[in-house]
């Protein structure tokens, strides 16, 4: 598995990471064995970056129940800010963030996080500053090694320009390319690590129908771009094309792909190791199509 450094953090991460929302939302504690399979296949296959969030159902608890004993083998990232998991409070306050951190540490059976991220709050919350200070306090206390912002568009740019965050997690894929020019150069200039969410466009490219309501916008964009004809140099599979496009950008340190299916996790690792890189011709053509059709397409949150 190819690895690299996450910005200026010094953390070594696999370029393919695991997003753990799906196991948290679609599995129950009765499926702990299945979650253990998914997570152990990821670690055994060389994935070292795991991304979850306090509001991803039972995701954090499943991590604690299944792979806490392998804690030294992975970089652990979570997110905070929302009211989640039966907590009673107000979103985007310092107290909610503090309590979320404490809960995450207990659920994942660890005494520190590698990365703690604000979870897609708006510019208004960022400008107010309370939750950012709560993250900085957690870093000072040793509860997290680094802090980041997860989000898109103007709020992501604000987070970059603030100089306060170590990493940026943002949407980027073959039908959502705005970050390539709007965010990546500025984030790299700040020494931030770049984590890509939604790297395969929710499976929308080449699908016969929208994979989910969440993917409707991506599906519509994919239909428009694909209508321009076959992509020269594209691999045979639609998912390897989507993965390969995102991996082709050196600014990206790691991408997070989620699944609750052990065999899909194995396949993701296999594709990463055998199908990539894809032809530069295909990447350039997808750049051209986005620039032609997507000038007004904002990042999907």
In DSSP notation, 228-249 reads T---TT--SSHHHHHHHHHHT-
Residue 298: inside a domain, yes or no? no
What integer pLDDT is reported at residue 86 of this predicted model? 84
Residue 301: inside a domain, yes or no? no
- Residue pLDDT, tens place only, 204-257: 999 999 988 889 999 999 999 999 999 999 998 999 999 999 999 999 999 999
Residue 206: inside a domain, yes or no? yes
Residue 124: inside a domain, yes or no? yes
Residue 142: inside a domain, yes or no? yes
CA count, 13 A, side-chain hemisphere, 281: 7
On whether the pTM is more than 0.75, the answer is: yes
Domain of 262 in residue numbering reads as: 11-293
Residue 5: inside a domain, yes or no? no
Could you tell me if 66 and 41 are in contact, meaning their C-beta atoms sit under 8 angstroms apart? no
Q: What share of the chain is helix, strand, coil (3-state, %, to 5)?
A: 45, 15, 35
Phi-psi region at 112: left, alpha or beta (left = phi > 0; alpha = psi -120 to 50):
beta
Could you tell me if 160 and 168 are in contact, meaning their C-beta atoms sit under 8 angstroms apart? yes
Residue 4: inside a domain, yes or no? no
Q: What is the count of structural domains for the chain?
A: 1
Task: Point out the residues of the chain with pLDDT beneath 70.
Answer: none
Listing DSSP states for 55-112 in one string gives TSTTHHHHHHHHTGGGGGGSEEEEEE-S--TT--S-TT-HHHHHHHHHHHHHHTT-S-
What integer pLDDT is reported at residue 25 of this predicted model? 94
CATH number of the domain enclosing 131: 3.20.20.100
- Residue pLDDT, tens place only, 22-34: 999 999 999 999 9
Residue 2: inside a domain, yes or no? no
Copy the structure tokens of residue 109.
């059976």
Closest CA to 124 of 80, 87, 154, 169: 154
């Amino acid at each position: 598995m190819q690895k690299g450094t996450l910005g200026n953090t010094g953390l070594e991460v696999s370029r393919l990471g695991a997003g753990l929302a799906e196991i948290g939302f679609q599995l129950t504690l009765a499926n702990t064995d299945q979650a253990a399979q998914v997570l152990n296949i990821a670690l055994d296959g060389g994935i070292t970056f795991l991304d979850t969030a306090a509001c991803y159902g039972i995701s954090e608890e499943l991590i604690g129940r299944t792979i806490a004993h392998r804690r030294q083998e992975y970089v652990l990232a979570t997110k905070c800010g929302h009211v989640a998991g039966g907590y009673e409070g107000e979103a985007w306050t310092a107290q909610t963030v503090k309590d979320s951190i404490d809960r995450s540490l207990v659920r994942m059976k660890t005494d520190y996080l590698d990365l703690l991220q604000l979870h897609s709050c708006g510019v208004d919350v960022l400008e107010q500053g309370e939750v950012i200070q709560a993250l900085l306090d957690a870093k000072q206390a040793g509860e997290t090694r680094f802090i980041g912002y997860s989000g898109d568009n103007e709020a992501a740019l604000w987070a970059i320009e603030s100089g306060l965050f170590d990493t940026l997690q943002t949407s980027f894929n073959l039908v959502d390319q705005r970050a390539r020019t709007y965010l990546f150069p500025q984030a790299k200039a700040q020494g931030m690590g770049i984590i890509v969410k939604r790297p395969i466009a929710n499976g929308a490219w080449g699908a016969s129908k929208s994979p989910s309501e969440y993917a409707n916008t991506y599906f519509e964009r994919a239909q428009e771009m694909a209508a321009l004809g076959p992509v020269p140099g594209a691999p045979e599979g639609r998912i390897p094309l989507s993965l390969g496009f995102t991996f082709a950008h050196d600014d990206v340190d790691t991408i997070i792909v989620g699944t609750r299916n052990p065999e899909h996790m194995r396949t993701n690792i296999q594709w990463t190791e055998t199908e990539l890189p894809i032809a530069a011709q295909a990447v350039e053509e997808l750049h051209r199509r986005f620039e032609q059709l997507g000038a007004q397409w904002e990042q999907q949150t």
